[in-house]
Amino acid sequence: MSNKIATRESYGKALAELGETNKDIVVLDADLSKSTKTADFAKKFPERFFNVGISEQDLMGTAAGFATCGKIPFASSFAIFATGRAFEQIRNSIAYPRLNVKIAATHAGITVGEDGATHESVEDIAIMRAIPGMVVINPADDVETKAAIKAAAEYYGPVYIRLGRLSVPVIYEADGYKFEIGKGIVLREGSDVTIIATGIMVAAALEAHEILKSKGISAKVIDIHTIKPIDEELIIKSAWETGAIVTAEEHSIIGGLGSAVCEVVSERVPVPVRRVGIKDQFGQSGKPDELLKLYHLTPEDIVNEVIGVLKLKKRD
């Protein structure tokens, strides 16, 4: 996993490639195309690129209009603006009529870094997950992002795709990789505990697996790239097999992956669950790696939660 690429970079490249084969794709941005990487598409297809300016509500409303005309709009801005400023337009103009709009939001989570709390969206998954009919995708690396963008374009209906600013390890090999909306991927088998991760925390979960292995703990690792619809079948199967779960996400533990997993297991196969994520806090300005340590989002933090959940498992 030595090669690192930001998922926003992968998004820009995937869009530009899709534009070659699908002439119905149009791309909209709110004056951030160099940062969101939609500029890659704009350079190749200027006639299908629309900069609406610093007007996120207009961004979503215009995207909805394109969708009613048979186009496949990808609307991009920073996650904090896309899900915050434009929530009503996403809910009422896109999701309610189930229009075919793809919201690709970059700069999500605390790894935005020095931009600070006002620009660090730690609640976007929770917001989008609560909207009826909204698909929510949080890819882990370059390969998964490119595949997710293609899958989103082929899927009919509203999709929210969470992308990051920070360069992250490339986990997957492009050859043979298969992305399916709503289906998790087992990256490592294990029998003592299941680590369920999403986004940039998948790489951290794989590192945690190796640390745990050295301690004699067998951890199953699952990449849940689709938060909604979540892969209930895989979660339930893993809960039965290992009897304990740790979730990991660069997002609030309220309403994100951890909440989604707890909703599944509490109703179907109650097992102890510990959640690695942001604990009801805002972000702050700092270097991404420093913030990950400060907010306890490291492989070592996952290991500590695994040890804790195994104690609960033994108590049961």
Q: What is the pLDDT of residues 14-73, one digit of tens each?
A: 999 999 999 999 999 999 999 999 999 999 999 999 999 999 999 999 999 999 999 999
pLDDT above 70: percentage of residues in the chain: 99
Residue among 34, 236, 230 nearest 138 (CA): 230
**pLDDT tens-place string over residues 181-213:** 999 999 999 999 999 999 999 999 999 999 999
Residue 119 DSSP label: G
How buried is 311 (Cβ within 10 angstroms: 0-12 exposed, 13-18 middle, 19+ buried)?
A: exposed
Fold for the domain defined by 185-315 = Rossmann fold (3.40.50)
Pairwise CA distance, residues 46 & 2, whole Å = 35
CATH of 4-169 given 3.65.10.10, 3.20.20.140, 3.40.50.970, 3.40.50.880: 3.40.50.970
pLDDT confidence of residue 288: 95
Q: Where are the domain boundaries for CATH 3.40.50.970 in the chain?
A: 4-169
Average pLDDT over residues 142-147: 97
**pLDDT tens-place string over residues 269-290:** 999 999 999 999 999 999 999 9
What phi and psi, each to the nearest 5 degrees, are found at residue 223?
-95, 110
Tokens 């690792």 sit on residue: 221
Pairwise CA distance, residues 180 & 22, whole Å = 20
Catalytically active residues are: 56
Pairwise CA distance, residues 117 & 65, whole Å = 32
Q: Measured on CA atoms in the order 234, 309, 129, 296, is the torsion positive or negative?
A: negative
E-strand stretches of 71-218: 72-78, 102-106, 135-137, 159-162, 167-169, 185-188, 193-197
Pairwise CA distance, residues 221 & 195, whole Å = 5
What are the respective helix, strand and coil percentages of the chain, to the nearest 5?
Answer: 45, 20, 35
Model confidence, pTM: 0.96
Q: Where are the domain boundaries for CATH 3.40.50.920 in the chain?
A: 185-315
**pLDDT tens-place string over residues 239-249:** 999 999 999 99
**What residues contact residue 94 under an 8 Å CB cut-off, 6+ apart?**
60, 63, 64, 67, 101, 103, 158
- pLDDT interval class at 313 (50, 70, 90): confident
Residue 55 DSSP label: -
pLDDT confidence of residue 215: 96
Number of H helices, E strands in the chain: 13, 14
Residue 234 has pLDDT above 90, yes or no: yes
pLDDT confidence of residue 314: 73
